[in-house]
Amino acid sequence: ASVMAPFRKPRAQSSAVCLLLGAVAAVLGIIGLAAHHTHQQAASHHDVIHHFHSSSSRLGGGKRAGHVSQHPKADRFRSHVRARVDAHKNADGDNLDDLRSADETISSFPVKTIREDATSHSVSIADQCGESHANTEYWGDVVEEGTVGLIRTPEECCRRCGETTGCNVWVHCGDAESCHGSCWLKRTADPTAPTVHASGANVPWTSGTVLKDFDPTPGKGASLGASEAFVALVTPAGRIRIRLKPEWHQLSSEHVARLADENACSGSCHLYRTEPGFLLQGTLRSFKVAANKDLKKGPKLMERGDIGWAGEGPGPDFFIYLGEKPADWLGYGHTVWGVIADEESLATVEKIVAMPSHTPGGPNTMRFLKEKMYFDI
């Protein structure tokens, strides 16, 4: 007994450890079964969602959850172009910061795609295309996304760019294993000197430019005489007449006058934000005229009907102030260059402000028109 006694205590400890391990294993088994059940539910839910979205997917195809692609190279291309789209453009293309200029944060912008009559060009589209560069990808803001298999040749892609308002850069893919037939339409401020994003034997893109929809004389404004100058925003809701105020800021007034002289807003300028009792906001971004670059603080507190550049910047985003009292809380930071010319125009502005709108960010956030309102000037 005296010899065996020392071994009884460790044996008891061993039994306790075994019981503890058994309990842990049982708990882990229960957790594993629950996790498996949850995973099956999640997979089923994901499958339903994926099936719902796959019918309208432009790049992803109709794969279901768990599908193993037969074309991994094409799938990598789809991931690549989705990342490329995200890098090029934001969800709305518009300024989402309170009175912040879009130029400070956004390099791309939305366009209302317009197909032009090829016969209206003074130079044929074929002549406009000029040289193309194989194994080269040009950078630019996306005007129209590419879809695999849509456009067969670089010449067709260039022609499509020539017929699309706002496009002056095109890239076409001829790689039969991945992106064959994909034609992306883009734009740049100066198509005479496009930016090369990638080049080399492994680059499947052919790129080129069309010398249109850009400003060959950036910074040039229209000459304003001694008499009062007016422009009008021609919207679906009616005309908004604006009296330009060069005495407040000469260069901004000349810039807006040039937009009107050259009918430079078609397909790009639009209204997008509405705050009842505060403002109506939009953009004067143009395909033909480079954005204004000049600022002048003040010279006055904004009053009802005054118009200035948003975000204390130089544009192209602008806003019409609609408060009943002078905006002393805004101070003198905004460049103010115009004023609503008459009560009829002010009533049109208020009518637009009252149109259907929403707050995508939730309650007490910025309010946007449900549908952007494009206008000419």
pLDDT at residue 139, rounded to an integer = 92
pLDDT at 297: 85
The reported pLDDT for the residue numbered 299 is 81
Cβ atoms of 116 and 164 within 8 Å: the answer is yes
Closest CA to 242 of 319, 316, 339: 339
Query: Which DSSP helix (H) or strand (E) runs through 195?
Result: none
Split the chain (377 residues) into runs of 10 and give each run's mean pLDDT.
Answer: 42 62 69 48 31 27 28 39 42 39 35 39 55 91 80 90 90 84 90 91 92 77 71 97 94 94 91 97 92 87 96 94 95 95 98 97 95 96
Q: Say what the pLDDT of residue 161 is.
A: 92
DSSP string, 4-31: THHHHHHHHHHHHHHHHHHHHHHHHHHH
Looking at residue 86, its pLDDT comes to: 44
The answer to whether the pTM exceeds 0.85 is no
d(CA 269, CA 282): 7
